[in-house]
């Protein structure tokens, strides 16, 4: 599952160490992901003292992307970014005495999952793209050495693979909530489209199988499925959402199954 194959083979990626000290670890990533350790490529997966990062090569390319739960935007949101009042928290059903067990089946860079883990939700994350899963794994590992962030990432358990298959074959306790944020097919190149999304699109594509993902999520979640969409975008084809919460840029479509209640006692 770690190797780039199928559709993903369209983008060429090489692995490189940013300093000689990281050469061995970079070679290990190259072997694990079956990527070349050098040569002509459109993207580079680079390893250096800030961890693993992915960068598009070429003059017009946006800067590198890495997963950083300790510093930067994600850390800022952890420190100053509100609590249970955040729309994503309301969408998954966080309320006094309720911290749902959530499966984030489209983990990406783990930002939404981190927000929910920081509010106390036990999170399982699934990511199918080997490069994005590699960035996420590296970010989670680095976060474990920060005393403030370690307890949050301890609540985040990463699985690699296609969430449709993993949800259909789920063993054990099902999650109360399944959270979905598939790539949405829009071609906007403006600055408002985040650097990460511009970087991801040629690698990941448009997640055209979102309807099957929604169907599998609805079959598995015991209490609700939540889908994040751009505010004006249509819902995922298939089942109709029960209601939606709208923010400035995003909307959360909610597919309720059973109400989430505080635990008795
Ligand atoms: C828009 S990004 C998610 C961003 C994420 N919510 C965050 O906060 O960083 C969508 C991600 O879902 C992944 N994805 C889409 N469909 C998937 C599936 N069926 N199984 C696993 N991962 C999937 C894509 O590879 C991509 O990384």
| DSSP labels, 212-249 | HHHHHHHHH-SSEEEEEEETTSPPPSSSPPSEEEE-SS
Which residue's CA is the nearest one to ligand 1's atom 5?
108
Q: Which atom of ligand 1 is nearest to the CA of 109?
A: 9
3-class state of residue 167 by DSSP: helix
The answer to whether the CB of 129 is under 6 A from ligand 1 is yes
Termini Cα distance of the chain: 44
What are 38's two structure tokens? 């050098």
pTM for this entry: 0.93
Extents of the domains making up the chain: 6-56, 73-256
The answer to whether the CB of 183 is under 6 A from ligand 1 is yes
The answer to whether the CB of 130 is under 6 A from ligand 1 is no
Q: Which residues contact 73 (CB under 8 A, 6 or more apart)?
A: none
One digit per residue, the tens of pLDDT, for the chain of length 265 reads 566 655 555 679 999 999 999 999 999 999 999 999 989 999 999 999 999 999 999 888 888 999 999 987 777 677 766 677 799 999 999 999 999 999 999 999 999 999 999 999 999 999 999 999 999 999 999 999 999 999 999 999 999 999 999 999 999 999 999 999 998 876 555 554 567 777 777 777 778 899 999 999 999 999 999 999 999 999 999 999 999 999 888 999 999 999 999 976 5
Query: Is the four-CA dihedral 154, 98, 240, 192 of positive or negative sign?
Result: negative
The answer to whether the CB of 106 is under 6 A from ligand 1 is yes
Which residue's CA is the nearest one to ligand 1's atom 26?
108
The answer to whether the CB of 127 is under 6 A from ligand 1 is yes
The answer to whether the CB of 112 is under 6 A from ligand 1 is yes
The Cβ of residue 54 has, within 10 Å, a number of other Cβ atoms equal to 21
The answer to whether the CB of 102 is under 6 A from ligand 1 is no
Q: Which atom of ligand 1 is nearest to the CA of 115?
A: 8
Return the CATH superfamily for domain 73-256: Vaccinia Virus protein VP39 (3.40.50.150)
């Amino acid at each position: 599952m770690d190797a780039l194959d199928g559709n993903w083979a369209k983008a060429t990626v090489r692995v490189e160490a940013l300093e000689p000290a990281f050469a061995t670890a970079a070679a290990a990533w190259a072997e694990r992901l079956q990527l070349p350790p050098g040569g002509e490529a459109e993207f580079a997966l680079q390893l250096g003292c800030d961890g693993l990062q992915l960068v598009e090569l070429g003059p017009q390319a946006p800067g590198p992307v890495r997963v950083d739960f300790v510093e930067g935007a994600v850390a800022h949101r952890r420190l100053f970014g509100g609590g249970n009042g955040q729309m994503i928290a309301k969408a998954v059903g966080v309320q006094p005495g309720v911290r749902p067990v959530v499966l984030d089946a489209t983990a990406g860079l783990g930002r939404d999952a981190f927000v929910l883990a920081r509010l106390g939700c036990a999170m399982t994350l699934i990511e199918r793209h080997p490069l994005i899963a590699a960035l996420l794994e590296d970010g989670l590992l680095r976060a474990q050495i920060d005393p403030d962030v370690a307890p949050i990432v301890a609540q985040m358990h990463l699985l690699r693979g296609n969430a449709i298959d993993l949800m259909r074959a789920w063993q054990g306790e099902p999650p109360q909530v399944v959270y979905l944020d598939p790539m949405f097919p829009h071609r906007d190149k403006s600055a408002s489209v985040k650097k990460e999304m511009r970087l991801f699109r040629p690698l990941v594509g448009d997640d055209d199988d979102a309807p099957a993902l929604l169907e599998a999520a609805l079959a598995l979640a015991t209490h609700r499925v939540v889908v994040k969409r751009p505010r004006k975008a249509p819902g995922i084809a298939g089942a109709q959402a029960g209601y939606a919460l709208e923010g400035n840029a995003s909307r959360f479509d909610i597919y309720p199954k059973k109400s989430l209640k505080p635990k008795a006692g």
